[in-house]
Structure 1
Amino acid sequence: MTLIKSISGIRGTIGGAPGEGLSPIDVVRYTSAYGTWVRKRCGKERPKVVVGRDARISGEMVKNLVLGALQGLGIDVVHLGLATTPTTELAVTHFGADGGLILTASHNPKQWNALKLLNEKGEFLSASDGELVLDLADREAFVFAGVDQLGSVEEADFLPGHIASVLALDLVDVEAIRKANFKVAIDCVNSVGGLAVPALLEALGVQAVLPLFCSPNGEFPHNPEPLPEHLGEIADLIRKEKADVGFVVDPDVDRLAIINEDGSMFGEEYTLVAVADYVLRHTPGNTVSNLSSTRALRDVTEKLGGSYRAAAVGEVNVVETMRATNAVIGGEGNGGVIYPASHYGRDALVGIALFLTHLAQSGLSCSQLRNTYPSYSMSKNKVELTPDIDVDALLVKVKSLYADEDINDVDGVKIDFADRWVHLRKSNTEPIIRIYAEAPSTSEAEALAATLMLQLKDMAQ
C-alpha cells in the first residue's frame, strides 16, 4: 500500500491501514485539512467548494467521504459528479467558489485515487499553500460545525459550460472543422473522457466518430497512461476504418495524445508543439514548458519570433512561469496543453479543439503536419544510488564538469548542448537520479544518457 503526501495533493492506493494507503480515515483527514485551509483563506462563514471526480472504481466511496467531511466543516458543496479535471477547474470560478477538489489519480492504474486541491482561481495550490494544508492535517487542526451549521450539497453538471467555453475561444474555428469532414477515433479509457470527448466533437461538428472505451465505468481496458505501448487497439482501429486522426486522453482528461491517420504516433511530446505552432501563428508571443519537455517547442517559438522559457517540473511551476513571462501558450510534454485564453490548467478538450482547427486549416494529413516540426527523440532513464550518497553533491559535480555548457539548475541540472540536452533530477522519495535526454535520434539520446549515467556512477564511488 502507498500513500504519497505532497503539496499538490494526496495520492495513494485504496485499502490497507490508515497512513499506509488512501484509507477512508486519510480521505477524511486531508479533506478536513483542506476545508479548514479554505475557510481560513477566504474568511467566510459559509465557504463554497466544487467537487468533481473521474470514473475510477473507488470514486463513489471517496466522493461520499469528501462530501461528508466538507459538509461537516460547514462548507457548501457544488457537486459535479463525473467531471474532467479541467471541467472542475473552470467550474470553481463559474460558481464563485472558494476552492475545488478533484478526485482522480490521473494516469495511475485503477488501485490508485487522489485528492487534487484547487484554490479560488481553479488552479493547483502553490507550494506554500500546500504546506499549510499538510501541516493542518498533521496537527488535525480542524473543528467541525454544529448541527445547525452543516454544509449543503448542490448537484450541477458543468460539462456543457466547459464545452461552450471551448467553442467560444477566438482560435477555435468550428466552421473549418465541420467543413473538413474529419473521421475521428477516440480512446477514453472508460473514464470521464467518454462523456466529455464525444460531446465536444459533436459540438465541433464532427459527424464521424469512432469511439473506443467510452463507458465511464472505471474499468480501464489497458494501462491508462496514454503512451505508445498502450495504444495498439486505437492504432489498429484508425488503420482499419481509415480515420483522419485519433485522440487518446487519460482518466481525468488533462493529457492528450494524438495518433496519425496511418496509426503511427504523433508523439505525446508534440501535442503541445503543434497546438503552440497554431496559436503562435495567430497570436505571437512567448511559450513555456517544463525542463523535461522537447526542445521542439523552443524551436517553433523562436522561429515565429517569440521567446521560450523552461520551468521546473510540475504544472504549478509551469503556470507561475507562464504568468511571469506573459506566455500565450504553454504546458508539459506529457500532452498537457495550458492555454491562458481559456484557463491556467492542462485541458485536453481545449487541445483537441485547437488541434482540429489547425489540422483543418493546414490542409495536411495528420502525419504530414507532424513532419513539419523538428524531430527529436527522447530517452528516459534512472541511476539507483545507495542511501548514504549525497545526491545534491553529485549534481554539483555534474554542473562543474559541464561548466562550459548552457546550464539550468532551477530543478536539478539541465545541460543544453547545440542540438541536444540532458536533464538530471533527484527523486524526492528514493535514492535515485532520473535522467532525461533528447537528441536528433533515439540512438544519440540513449548514448547521451549512457554517458551521464556512467559519469554519475564514477562520481559516486
Structure 2
Amino acid sequence: MSLIKSISGIRGTIGGKVGDNLTPLDVVKFASAFGTWLQNNKNKKDLTLIIGRDARISGSMVNSLVTATLQGLGINVVDLGLSTTPTVEVMVPELNADGGIILTASHNPKQWNALKLLNEKGEFINGENGAEVLALAESEDFNYAEVDDLGQYETREDAFDIHIQKILDLAMVDVEAIKAKKYKIVLDAVNSTGGIAIPMLLDKLGCETVKLYCEPNGQFPHNPEPLKEHLGDICELVKKENADFGVVVDPDVDRLALVDEKGEMFGEEYTLVAVADYLLKNKNGVAISNLSSSRALRDVAQTHNSEYFASAVGEVNVVNLMKEKDAVIGGEGNGGIIYPDLHYGRDSLVGVALFLTHLAKENKTVSELRAGYPSYFMGKKKIELTPEINVDDILSKMEKEYQNENVSTIDGVKIDFENNWVHLRKSNTEPIIRIYTEAKSQEEADKLGDDIIAKIKSLI
C-alpha cells in the first residue's frame, strides 16, 4: 500500500495509516492545500471549483471529503458526480470556474484513488504550482471559513451533454458521414464512467453500441490499463458480434485503445497516429507526442509535409510544447488524444469522433486502415543499479558515447538511430534506468535494449 505525492496531485491506496496511504485525513489535508493555494493566488473573494469522479468504489467517499473540505474553506463547489477526466476539463472554463479536481486514479486498480488538480483553463497545474500545493499540505497552514462564509454546493447533470455537443460542433467531426456508415461498435468501459459517456456520443453519431463492462460500479473486471494482455474478452466479442471495431477506455476515459474487426489490437500507439493522419491530411501543421511515443507519428506527419516535435514525458509537457508550436494535434502514445480545437487535455470522446470521421471518409475497414501505417514494435526494459552509482553520470556518459547520433537530453537521454531508437530515463524513486526501445521488429527492439544495457554496464 502506498501514498504518492507529486506535482500533479496525490495518489494512493484506500485505507491504512495516515501518511502511508490515501486515508480520509490525507484527502482532507490535500484538498485543503489546493483550496488554500487557489485562495492565495486569486484576487477575488468567491471561488468556485468543479469536481467530478470516475466510478471507483471509494469515489463517493472521497468526493464527500473533498467537497465538504472545500466548502469549509469558503469555496463554492459544482459537483458533476460520475464524470470523466476530459469532461471535468471542459466544464471548468465552460462554467468560468477557478479550477477543478478530478477524483480518479486513472488506470490503477480499484484499491487506488487520486486527486488530480486543474487550473482555471481546465488544464493540469504546472510543476511550480504543484510544488507550492505540496508545501502547503506539509505546513498545514489552512484558515477555514466561519459559518456564514461556508461555500455553496450544487450539482450539474448536463456535463456529458455539453461535452458531447462541443465535439459534434467541431468542424473536423463529420456527423453525417459517420451516420451514413451505421457502424456497430463494441465498448469495454471497465465498469466505469466511459460506460455512460461513450454510448451517449455513439448514439448521437448514429452508431450501434454493444456494451461490455459498462456498468459504472467500480468493479473492474480486468486490469483497467487498456493493454492487449487485458483485453481478450472484447477481442472475442468483436468477432462474435461481427462488429466494425471495438473501443476500450480506461476508468477516467482519457486513454483510447481500438480493436479491429478481426479482433486484433489496433495498437495503442496508433490511436494518435490515425487521428493525426486525418487531421494533417486536411491541414498542414505540427504534431506533438512525447519522447517515448512511436516514430510512426513522425512518419505520418512527414507524408503530409507537416512537422513533428517530441516533448518530455508527461501530459503537461506535451501540452506546453503544443502551445509553443501551435500544434494541430498532439498526445501520448498510450492512447491519449489531445485536440486543441476542443481543449488541451487527453480526451477519448473526441478521439472516437475524429477516428470515426477518418474511418468513414477513408471507406476502409479498421484493419485496412492500420495496414497503411508503418509498423513499429516497442520494448521496455530496466537496469537496476546499486545506490552508490550516480545515474546522472551514467546518462551523461551515454550521451557522450553516442554523440554522433541524433541525441535529445530534454528528458533523460534519447538516441535516434536511422532505423530505431532508445530512450533512457531514470526513476525518481529508486536507482533504476528505464529503457524504452522501438524498431521494425520485436526482436530488434528487444536486442537494442539488451545492447544498451550491456553498454551501460561497460561504463559503470
Question: Which TM-score band applies after superposition, normalised by the shorter structure?
Answer: over 0.9
Q: Distance in 1 between matches of 2:438 and 2:353?
A: 29
Q: Look up the match of 2:425.
A: 425
Q: Look up the match of 1:6.
A: 6
Q: Distance in 1 between matches of 2:124 and 2:336?
A: 14
The answer as to whether partners of 2:59 and 2:103 remain within 8 angstroms in 1 is yes
Q: Distance in 2 between matches of 1:177 and 1:212?
A: 22
Q: Distance in 1 between matches of 2:457 and 2:375?
A: 30
In the TM superposition, 1:385-404 aligns within 5 A as 385-404=385-404
Aligned-partner SS, 2:453: helix
Give aligned pairs, total: 459
Q: Look up the match of 1:147.
A: 147
Q: Look up the match of 1:201.
A: 202
Q: Look up the match of 1:56.
A: 56
Shift in Å at residue 431 of structure 1? 1.2
Q: Distance in 1 between matches of 2:239 and 2:452?
A: 40
Q: Distance in 2 between matches of 1:166 and 1:18?
A: 42
Q: Look up the match of 1:47.
A: 47
In the TM superposition, 1:190-339 aligns within 5 A as 190-206=191-207, 208-339=208-339
Q: Distance in 2 between matches of 1:283 and 1:359?
A: 17
Matched AA of 1:330: G
The answer as to whether partners of 2:391 and 2:426 remain within 8 angstroms in 1 is yes
Matched AA of 1:346: R
Q: Look up the match of 1:76.
A: 76
What CA deviation, in whole Å up to 9, does each residue of 1:310-348 have, x standing for no partner?
000000000000000110000000000000000000000
Aligned-partner SS, 1:410: coil
Shift in Å at residue 45 of structure 1? 1.0
Matched AA of 1:107: H
Matched AA of 1:390: N
Shift in Å at residue 385 of structure 1? 1.3
Shift in Å at residue 86 of structure 1? 0.2
Q: Distance in 2 between matches of 1:46 and 1:458?
A: 60
Q: Distance in 2 between matches of 1:132 and 1:237?
A: 48
What CA deviation, in whole Å up to 9, does each residue of 1:213-272 have, x standing for no partner?
000000000000000000000000011111111000000000000000000110000000
Matched AA of 1:154: E
Question: How high is the TM-score relative to the length of structure 2?
Answer: 0.99
Q: Distance in 1 between matches of 2:432 and 2:153?
A: 45
Shift in Å at residue 386 of structure 1? 1.4
What CA deviation, in whole Å up to 9, does each residue of 1:172-191 have, x standing for no partner?
11111111111101100000
Q: Distance in 2 between matches of 1:49 and 1:66?
A: 11
Shift in Å at residue 42 of structure 1? 1.8
Q: Distance in 2 between matches of 1:298 and 1:44?
A: 45
Q: Look up the match of 1:164.
A: 165
What CA deviation, in whole Å up to 9, does each residue of 1:364-419 have, x standing for no partner?
10000001111100001111111111000000011111111000000000000011
What CA deviation, in whole Å up to 9, does each residue of 1:41-93 have, x standing for no partner?
22221100000000000101100100011000000001000000000000100
Aligned-partner SS, 1:364: coil
Q: Look up the match of 2:183.
A: 182
Q: Distance in 1 between matches of 2:456 and 2:20?
A: 33
Shift in Å at residue 353 of structure 1? 0.3
Aligned-partner SS, 2:185: strand
Aligned-partner SS, 1:327: coil
Q: Distance in 1 between matches of 2:162 and 2:116?
A: 21
Q: Look up the match of 1:119.
A: 119
Of residues 381-390 and 305-314 in structure 1, the stretch that sits farther from structure 2 once superposed is 381-390
Q: Distance in 1 between matches of 2:330 and 2:142?
A: 37
Q: Distance in 2 between matches of 1:201 and 1:445?
A: 37
Q: Distance in 2 between matches of 1:111 and 1:234?
A: 24
Matched AA of 1:95: L
Q: Distance in 2 between matches of 1:259 and 1:94?
A: 33
Structure 2 alignment gaps of length 5 or more: none
Q: Distance in 1 between matches of 2:459 and 2:25?
A: 44
Aligned-partner SS, 2:92: helix
Q: Distance in 2 between matches of 1:154 and 1:41?
A: 24
Q: Distance in 1 between matches of 2:20 and 2:43?
A: 33
Q: Distance in 2 between matches of 1:98 and 1:358?
A: 36
Q: Distance in 1 between matches of 2:57 and 2:415?
A: 42
What CA deviation, in whole Å up to 9, does each residue of 1:257-312 have, x standing for no partner?
00000001100000000000001111210011000000000011111111111000
Aligned-partner SS, 1:70: helix
Q: Look up the match of 1:443.
A: 443
Q: Look up the match of 2:109.
A: 109
Over the matched positions of the two proteins, sequence identity in percent amounts to 59
The answer as to whether partners of 2:48 and 2:98 remain within 8 angstroms in 1 is yes
Aligned-partner SS, 1:248: strand
Matched AA of 2:178: I
Q: Look up the match of 1:415.
A: 415
Q: Distance in 1 between matches of 2:118 and 2:41?
A: 12
Q: Distance in 2 between matches of 1:247 and 1:80?
A: 24
Q: Distance in 1 between matches of 2:141 and 2:427?
A: 30
Q: Distance in 2 between matches of 1:367 and 1:47?
A: 49
1:365 aligns with 2:354: no
Q: Look up the match of 2:352.
A: 352
Aligned-partner SS, 1:92: helix
What CA deviation, in whole Å up to 9, does each residue of 1:22-41 have, x standing for no partner?
11111000100000111122
Q: Distance in 2 between matches of 1:209 and 1:112?
A: 29
The answer as to whether partners of 2:255 and 2:335 remain within 8 angstroms in 1 is yes
Structure 1 alignment gaps of length 5 or more: none
Matched AA of 2:412: G
Q: Look up the match of 1:100.
A: 100
Matched AA of 2:380: K
Shift in Å at residue 457 of structure 1? 2.2
CA RMSD after TM alignment: 0.7
Matched AA of 2:15: G
